[in-house]
Structure 1
Amino acid sequence: MAHENSGRTRRETLQYGGAVAAGLGLAGCADFVGQSGEGTPTSGGSYSVTLSPMGTVAFDAVPETVFTVFPQYADMAVSLGHGDAVNAVYVPEMSGTTMNHYYRHLDGVSFDWENLHDPLSDGLSRELLFELDSDVHLADPAWASTQQNWDRGDIEEVETQIGPWFGNFYSGTRASPPEGYDDYEYYDLWELFEGVAGVFDAHERYEALEQVHTDLVDTVQRDLPPEDERPTAVRVSIAGDGESFYTYHLNKPGYWLADTRPLGAVDAFAEEDWGSLWGQVDFETMAEADPDAIFHLWGLTPSRSMSEMRATLRDHPVGSDLTAVQNDRVYAQGMRYQGPIMNLFQIEMGAKQLYPEVFGEWPTYEDGDGYPELPEDEQLFDRQRVADIIDGDI
């Protein structure tokens, strides 16, 4: 498909240093070529970052305009001090409001989402990408090639005429990539974040935040009760018919589970094989599993109502007898599309919901509350330290 500006040369300040084509598989995590630290390009002003499936991407300057689809990348940009560079994010009100639920606890950190484009409102649009003219597209070209009316030629046109792709989608679920990406590599959330930090030449910020994450996970896992004393749990969203649940595994690989996996809860559906990380079950199947705790995915976002969820369970003849309902252990959860800052808060939230006797009670959540203000001595990570890192005070 031709575009009005399809004859323009590649952007002068950014260069794509590798092919999207398969065959550029990587061993292990992201490889950073020529990194010199916090926001300072190497000699000659260029630096390179290597990540599957793109290969090596070379930059002559830190990107000033950034296209994202899923909010984990917008959260990464905020974490690295470049939130104002983002020009698009999936369902801006839902994503932005949820992100700001967390950010309001970090001095000086916020995300201005109100004028952002929704990249999927009418399907992934080449016209929108050309209109935005972004320095980098934090999205997986393998995933983009599967979208309606997209093919490999469109991927190459965007990268050569606008700016490079940089993202990895299929690590979220460890699903198989599309045909032609046989050497696709998988990363966990923080390895992926390391790659994005390379894009912004902000490796020191990444390292500082990664240490906060390591300390948080150590804090949680050090005090977990023995496995046979841990609660059973499920992560669900209620289906539109009100008679079934979409339910998700808790402890499988994939960065969509980066907040539940460290918590070590017993997945009530661990033995279920849905062919992916999620499946659909009815109330009778839920009653057979009868989990101690129910995590309502999206419950902290403006797109789902916890009061409606609780009412649906309470008013259902089977749901009302569930142990989690009877014991008031139906909890709001955030988004599986989580970046590093979202991940910190969601690990803390889940730890308190699962193990209140160890980490302190989780406050009752009502629609619109946002993330609650916790007493300082019950916070599982240092908010001011995180805010300082985002602000560049490493």
Structure 2
Amino acid sequence: MRDETSQGRTRRAFAKYGGTVALGGLLAGCAGGGAETDSSGSNGSDAGDDGSDGSSTAASDADGGYTASISPTGEVTFESPPETVFTRLTHHAGMAFALGRSDGLTAMHAPDYYDGLWNQFVERLPGVSLDWSGLYSSWQPDKEKLYELDSDVHLADPAWITRQDAWSREDVDEIAERVAPWFGNSLSDRHQEPTGEWADGYQYYGLWEQFEIVAEAFRERERYEALAAVREDLLATIDDGLPPESERPTAIMVAAADIEEIYAYTLSNPGFLTSHTRPLGPRDAFGGSVESGTVVDFETILEADPDVILYLGGFEPGTDMAGRRAAFEDDPVGSQVTAVENDRVHPQGARYQGPILNLFQLEMTAKQLYPEAFGEWPRYEEGPYPEIPEEERLFDRQRVADVVNGNL
């Protein structure tokens, strides 16, 4: 596929990156086929996530194509909306799903794992289906495989891709020219520092701010606005119900495939990994002394003594939440933790979340932290996201399902 002409150009013409002609493929039509900051607002939501600053733009060209822009790629020209989509991380896969492109995914990280996890939530969206099983696992993508997949867009961050030993900037540019452009941002996860030539002008986005930009690239503005309205209503409900900061519980988030090695994660630092906990403003039981990914033991957790423990990955079908709780309850140290004594060890889904999972996790975490304000969270042990009585739901499932299915 690399040498369809004597010049080695493919069926896709050049795209424009950053306002200059550079290596990057125009999408399949040729074949016929604002920075986030740690918001100080009342709900702590991602700055710019409502798109009100106009930082997300897509302009039409005279020849019928259109452009969209995202950091670090810059401006990209599309001839037609992409149908097949390469992703690496699940916040991008979740965006494609929300925009009705789930069936067009060609790759993602740990597809079978995340297919099982995501479907625990999709179960509660009437008439919506998701099947990511068997896709190419792209955690360490192979360049030749990207040629084979021949996706219409690579919804992934080239600044992260080039962190892989097998990838150089020249490799990234080659794929952009000969297959399809890159259009994604991942270092916004926790405001990681870009390296090398990507460091100049790299912009951080909130989850929904980036979702708006991706929606522009897919020509799905209406879908984005409909889902953003659901989120705005949900955040307004949360704002109205939040108690004063001094009355909020202390909390920690942990994950452990083996209870002998427990990893702790932060709840309110900048970045889209905390887009479901930061708006709820729980008090960090560790007091800022523990960074994400730090290994902690029962003694460290007891010293922090959180009121609530959020257990990351607790919704994964293979996770035994009853067994995880029992590991705390049966340990002479872990059993003394306030959250364990009060049966407030609750499951979480994933930090690399798309917009749909973010809605569920905002609702879920609100109930786990503030049951008096938002209704009790059911004691979960296994199976899909609990069936919350309609009058106790914090967002409209049917509306979200309609948007995903294109019934706007």
| Alpha-carbon distance in structure 1 between the residues aligned to 2:56 and 2:168 | 27
Q: Does 1:365 pair with 2:380?
A: yes
Q: Does 1:9 pair with 2:27?
A: no
Aligned counterpart for 2:400 among listed residues 383, 386, 393: 386
Could you give the per-residue CA deviations for residues 146-173 of structure 1, whole angstroms, max 9, x where no partner exists?
1121111111111011100011111001
Question: Which residue of the partner structure matches residue 173 of structure 2?
Answer: 156
How many angstroms does 1:314 deviate by?
A: 1.8
Question: Which residue of the partner structure matches residue 59 of structure 2?
Answer: 34
Contact 1:15 1:57 in 2 (8 A): no
Alignment of 1:208-287 (within 5 A): 208-238=226-256, 240=258, 242-272=259-289, 274=291, 277-287=292-302
| Alpha-carbon distance in structure 2 between the residues aligned to 1:48 and 1:135 | 15
How many angstroms does 1:365 deviate by?
A: 1.1
User: Any stretches of 5+ residues in structure 1 without a counterpart?
Assistant: 36-41
> Residue type of the partner of 2:9?
T
Question: Which residue of the partner structure matches residue 53 of structure 1?
Answer: 72
Question: Which residue of the partner structure matches residue 38 of structure 1?
Answer: none
> Residue type of the partner of 1:31?
S
> Residue type of the partner of 1:312?
A
How many angstroms does 1:78 deviate by?
A: 1.4
Alignment of 1:56-71 (within 5 A): 56-71=75-90
Could you give the per-residue CA deviations for residues 55-78 of structure 1, whole angstroms, max 9, x where no partner exists?
001100111110011111111111
How many angstroms does 1:174 deviate by?
A: 0.6
| Alpha-carbon distance in structure 2 between the residues aligned to 1:20 and 1:279 | 42
Aligned counterpart for 1:178 among listed residues 163, 170, 195: 195
Secondary structure of the equivalent of 1:272?
A: coil
Secondary structure of the equivalent of 2:228?
A: helix
| Alpha-carbon distance in structure 1 between the residues aligned to 2:340 and 2:394 | 27
| Alpha-carbon distance in structure 2 between the residues aligned to 1:165 and 1:20 | 15
How many angstroms does 1:285 deviate by?
A: 1.4
Could you give the per-residue CA deviations for residues 276-302 of structure 1, whole angstroms, max 9, x where no partner exists?
x44222221111100000000111113
Secondary structure of the equivalent of 2:109?
A: coil
How many angstroms does 1:3 deviate by?
A: 7.3
How many angstroms does 1:128 deviate by?
A: 1.5
> Residue type of the partner of 1:279?
T
How many angstroms does 1:385 deviate by?
A: 1.1
Could you give the per-residue CA deviations for residues 253-310 of structure 1, whole angstroms, max 9, x where no partner exists?
1001100011111111232153xx4422222111110000000011111353323321
- The count of residues paired between Structure 1 and Structure 2 equals 376
| Alpha-carbon distance in structure 1 between the residues aligned to 2:318 and 2:63 | 47
| Alpha-carbon distance in structure 2 between the residues aligned to 1:170 and 1:262 | 20
Contact 2:4 2:10 in 1 (8 A): no
User: Any stretches of 5+ residues in structure 2 without a counterpart?
Assistant: 21-33, 37-47, 49-54
How many angstroms does 1:10 deviate by?
A: 3.8
How many angstroms does 1:213 deviate by?
A: 0.6
Q: Does 1:319 pair with 2:319?
A: no
Label 1:260 to 1:5 Cα distance change in 2 as closer, same or farther (>3 A): farther
TM-score (normalised: structure 1): 0.90
| Alpha-carbon distance in structure 1 between the residues aligned to 2:213 and 2:346 | 33
Aligned counterpart for 2:146 among listed residues 126, 129, 136: 129
| Alpha-carbon distance in structure 1 between the residues aligned to 2:116 and 2:14 | 34
Secondary structure of the equivalent of 1:49?
A: strand
| Alpha-carbon distance in structure 1 between the residues aligned to 2:250 and 2:35 | 35
| Alpha-carbon distance in structure 2 between the residues aligned to 1:173 and 1:359 | 28
Label 1:194 to 1:86 Cα distance change in 2 as closer, same or farther (>3 A): same
| Alpha-carbon distance in structure 1 between the residues aligned to 2:222 and 2:384 | 30
Label 1:254 to 1:107 Cα distance change in 2 as closer, same or farther (>3 A): same
> Residue type of the partner of 1:16?
A
Contact 1:243 1:283 in 2 (8 A): no
| Alpha-carbon distance in structure 2 between the residues aligned to 1:272 and 1:211 | 36
| Alpha-carbon distance in structure 2 between the residues aligned to 1:283 and 1:134 | 46
> Residue type of the partner of 2:349?
G
| Alpha-carbon distance in structure 2 between the residues aligned to 1:185 and 1:353 | 33
Q: Does 1:18 pair with 2:14?
A: no
How many angstroms does 1:358 deviate by?
A: 1.4
Secondary structure of the equivalent of 1:320?
A: helix
